[in-house]
Structure 1
Amino acid sequence: MNNSNQNQSERWIEVKPAMSIQGVGARTTNEAEAGPLGKIPQLWDRYFQSGLQSQISGDDQAMYALYTEYESDASGAYTLIIGNQTDEVAAAENSDELQQASVPASRYLVFRTRRGPLMEIVPEVWHEIWSYFDQAAEKRSYTGDYERYDMQQFDPANTVVDVYIAIE
C-alpha cells in the first residue's frame, strides 16, 4: 500500500452475506453525475424527505447508498438506491414509490474514508477507488457496491464513510 498519499483511505477485505436495501432510486452514469444534471443530489433530498431514515431499526443503525444493476463497468449506467437494510417480507408491504434491491453475498474490498465533510470525502474516495482498480490485482465484480453511513455517529460536516466494492 502506498502511504505517501495522506488522503488515502484505509482498506481491508471483508466477506458479507446477502442483504436487501429499500429506498429511493434512480438510474444514472458517472458521466451524467459529473455535470450539472446529476441525479444523485436530488436522490439524497428525496431520501431525507421520505422519512426513511427514521425507520432505521434493529442492530444495523446504518443508511446505505447501493450501486446496482450495472450495465457494464464504471463507465456504464447503474441504479443507485439510497435507503435502509430491510428484510424481504417488510419490503413488500411498503410504498410503490420505493425501490428494493438485493445484494448477493460477496467478498468486498472496503475503503474507509478519512474523517471530513461528506460532500468532500465521498467524491474523493470514489476517485481513489477508480484509480485503484485501474492497476489492482483484485477485479471488481459489479454485482453491487455500497456506501455505509453509521447513523449513530452521523454528522455530515465531520463523518467517516465505508465504501464496499464487490470483488471476484
Structure 2
Amino acid sequence: MNNSNQNQSERWIEVRPAMSIQGVGVRTTNEAEAGPQGKIPQLWDRYFQSGLQARLSDKDQAIYALYTDYESDASGSYTLIIGNRIDEDVAVSASSEELQQASVPASRYLVFRTRRGPLMEIVPEVWHEIWSYFQQSAEKRTYTGDYERFDTRQFDPAHTVVDVYIAIE
C-alpha cells in the first residue's frame, strides 16, 4: 500500500483581491535559508518582539509571511516580510524605520494547506512539496507575491495548520 500522499497537503485555486502587508523584513535566498545562517528564524523573533501582533486588524486575525520582490524564481533572492494586513490608508508609522510595507497584487493562487503539526516542521515540509509540485505541473508561478497565512485565533505553534498562497498565471 502506498502512503506517499499521506503527507500531501490539501490544494485548491482561489482568486484573491490586492492587499498590503506591513511588518519586519529581510532579503534572503532559499539556499541561504537551508544552512545554519538562515535569517528567517531571527525575523520571526523580530516580529514577535516588535509588538506588531497586538495590532492585528479585527477583520483579519492573521499573521502573514509575504515572499515578494523576487529576483527571478525559487532559486533567486527575495524579500520576506512577516507582518499584518493593513488598510492602504492606515499604514502604521510609529517608529517604523524598521517596518517594511508591500502590496500584493490581485491574483489567482494555488493554495496549499498543511497537515496539522509543529510549525517548524510543517512549513519547510509544505515548501518542499510546493517546489516539487511546480517542477512537474502545467501551472506556472508568477512570482508576484506568495504568502503564508497563520490564523491567530487559538494559535498553537506546536499544533497548527498553515495555508500557503502561491500566485499562478
CA pair 5-23 structure 1, distance change in 2 beyond 3 A: same
- What residue is the counterpart of 1:112 in the other structure? 113
What's the TM-score once normalised by structure 1's chain length?
Answer: 0.96
Alpha-carbon distance, 1:3 to partner:
7.7
Q: Residue 40 of structure 2 corresponds to which residue in structure 1?
A: 40
Distance in 2 between the 1:4 and 1:145 partners?
Answer: 26
Alpha-carbon distance between aligned partners in 1 of 2:42 and 2:4, rounded to the nearest angstrom: 36
Equivalent pair of 1:27/1:79 in contact (CA under 8 Å): yes
Secondary structure of 1:154's counterpart equals coil
**What is the CA deviation profile of residues 136-160 of structure 1, one whole-angstrom value per residue up to 9, with x for unaligned ones?**
0100000000000000031000000
Q: Deviations over 1:98-141 (max 9, x none)?
A: 00000000000000000000000000000000000000010000
Query: What's the secondary structure of 1:15's corresponding residue?
Result: strand
Which moved further from structure 2: 91-100 or 153-162?
A: 91-100
**One-letter identity of the residue aligned with 1:48:** F
Structure 1: gaps (5+ residues): none
Aligned residue in 1 for 2:27: 27
Q: CA deviation at 1:88?
A: 2.1
Whether the 8 Å CA contact 1:65–1:82 is kept in 2: the answer is yes
Distance (whole Å) between structure 2 residues aligned to residue 4 and residue 48 of structure 1: 35
Residue 166 of structure 2 corresponds to 165
Q: 1:37-71, CA deviations, whole angstroms, 9 ceiling, x for partnerless residues?
A: 11000000000000100110221100000000000
Contact 1:13 1:107 in 2 (8 A): yes
Q: Distance in 1 between matches of 2:114 and 2:137?
A: 19
Listed as ranges, the matches of 1:4-23 within 5 Å are: 4-23=4-23
Give the whole-Å Cα distance in 2 for the aligned partners of 1:131 and 1:61. Answer: 30
Residue identity (%): 84
Mean Cα deviation higher: 28-37 or 2-11: 2-11
Report if the CA contact (8 A) 2:149-2:162 is conserved.
yes
2:91 and 2:3 mapped to 1: Cα distance?
43
1:81-120 equivalences in 2 (<5 Å): 81-91=81-91, 93-94=93-94, 95-120=96-121
Instruction: Give aligned pairs, total.
Output: 167
